[in-house]
Amino acid sequence: MSHVLVPLPRRAAALVPVLPLVAVVALLALPPTGDGAVPADVVSALVVGYCVIRLLRERRRPLSPRAAVVLGLPVVGLALAAMGADSTAAGVGGMCRYLQVFVLVPAAVLVLLRGRADFRVLAWSFVGLALWQGAVGVHQYVTGTGASYQGETLRAVGTFGATDVMGMATAVSLGVVCAVGLALGRAPLRQRAAAAGCALVLVLPLALSFSRGAWIATVLTCSVQLALAGLRRALKAGAALVAAGVILMGGFGVGTAMLQERIDSITEVTDTPDSSVIDRYTLWAAATGMWREHPLTGVGLKGFPAYRDGHATLALSSGSEIDGAGETYHKQALLSPHNMYLLVLSEQGLVGLLTLAGSWLALLVCAVRGLLRVRRRGPGLDCGLIACGLLLWQLTDYLYGDIGGPSTVLTGVALGLTAWWALPRDERPAAGCRDEVPGRLEEAVAR
């Protein structure tokens, strides 16, 4: 039996279209520049521009009608909220950010990805970013050079710094979701074992991020992934995670007391909540107050800070304390409700919430339907698990966080992966199940 070997240059050439997206993810390994600019944001804009030029030259339709409707739905609420903003600059700036994350970057992923091989390359780039940021975070904890937490500079924040304490937690959590999906797929055993090992390794930096919202979202998402993959795999993976937790908490005693205190604080709603919980509930109340006064279109994009003091009670603190990880001590104003749904409701009203959440819900339904079609025998189980997991994680985490910070562009790429699986092009079979790299070249790239 003869074997056709694909030359290495052809293998590399087959991956060229996905490399710009990998570059966006990889650039998040760099810290923000001195003026606050994020290289990944700049490159994401260039990628979108490249897609536009490429589509114009090829004279082809960029998206299927269904994809255009689902991804374009948030534009309605954004346009109305931008017109209601206090200033033109605020309206335009806010709309550009929302369009970047929820419309343009996901659409670029849809255009550039050609098959499951490209999907997996991009998913592995998420895992690579998580490993790098996690390694930096663990080093910060061990050496006491992290962000301030309970008076000690030991909170793992990676290269994102103390001003974006959720950045590393987001990157690591999405890496865990991708690694779990890859481990539960039908790839060769070596690849699945490597993915499972990465997921277990990433548990440590995720714990040291002290991010309650990321913990809850990751546990829920991975549990759903395991359940969708099958009972046998769920039991094996669950046993491995329990063993990792025992080693982490008991064997090494990594931050046991602080982690336990942080976990206990999740349920401290009416007893003795810490200051961050009090601030969060105060901001949530302020957001709902804004919505009651402007129920349909909200107070306008980027309007929450201006209206906050008029709706917040005296329980709200002057700001969060920032220290460590290269930052000198200062107070950072609380300019958002730390809940994406309430942020959209307060600034964009019911119209904005229904259009944006409606787009996410449509993506989730389509992604789950595609996963159920391939769960037993179809190809792409790992892609389906990753696509559903990324969106589920984001929807859960949005109960405790919102848009903002250098890691935000990662959300756009993750939504693009979900959209690629959920909204296939017209010429592609349902659920994005076809690898569009032809023949033996497809097999070589997959290997």
Where is pLDDT greater, at 445 or 278?
Answer: 278
pLDDT band at 439 (very low <50, low <70, confident <90, very high): very low
Cα separations in angstroms, 152 against 140, 148, 159, 329: 11, 5, 18, 12
The chain-wide mean pLDDT, for the chain, equals 83
Contact between 98 and 403 (Cβ < 8 Å): yes
Nearest to 299 by CA among 243, 331, 345: 345
Radius of gyration of the chain (CA): 22
Structure tokens that stand for 140 in this block: 């910060």
**pLDDT tens string 339-366:** 999 999 999 999 999 999 999 999 999 9
At residue 420, φ and ψ (nearest 5 deg) are -60, -40
pTM: 0.87
The answer to whether 322 and 334 have CB atoms below 8 angstroms apart is no
At CA 283, angle to CA 282 and CA 284, rounded to 5? 90
Tell me the backbone φ, ψ of residue 36, rounded to 5 degrees: 90, 0
- 141-172 residue pLDDT tens: 999 888 888 778 888 899 998 888 889 999 99
Helix ranges restricted to H, 379-424: 381-397, 408-422
> What pLDDT is recorded for position 427?
40
CA distance 101 to 92: 14
Helix (H) or strand (E) holding 443: helix 439-446
Lowest mean per-residue pLDDT among 10-19, 191-200, 329-338:
10-19
